[in-house]
Amino acid sequence: LSIFLASAARWGLRLVATWLALVASFGITMALAVWVDPFGLGGLPALPLLSLAFLGANADLLYRSLRSPEPEPA
């Protein structure tokens, strides 16, 4: 979780929304691993859903920063 929160802080993204999305994603991953066990592995990796949660919480800001042209250095 800390790498995603540090990234959000570094790039000026939404910290609270990112934290809430990451915690919810981690909880969902744990619930799926315990109750559903969709692949019969006895566990699931948390990173894919954590990444989606990070992108979901900040998608509009990331898209806007990628689409806006950066000023040319003088």
In the chain, the amino acid numbered 51 is S
Q: Is residue 24 one of the residues assigned to a domain?
A: yes
Question: What is the per-residue pLDDT across 33-49, written as a single tens digit (0 to 9) for each?
Answer: 888 776 677 778 889 99
Which domain range does residue 35 map to?
2-59
Q: What is the pLDDT of residue 72?
A: 66
Q: What is the total count of domains within the chain? A: 1
Using the predicted structure, report yes or no on whether residue 14 has a pLDDT greater than 70.
yes
Question: What is the per-residue pLDDT across 44-74, written as a single tens digit (0 to 9) for each?
Answer: 888 999 999 999 999 999 999 888 776 766 6
Predicted TM-score of the model (pTM): 0.79
Query: Which residues, other chains included, contact 13 with Cβ-Cβ below 8 Å and sequence gap of 6+?
Result: 7, 57, 58, 61, 62
Q: Is residue 73 one of the residues assigned to a domain?
A: no
Q: Is residue 9 one of the residues assigned to a domain?
A: yes
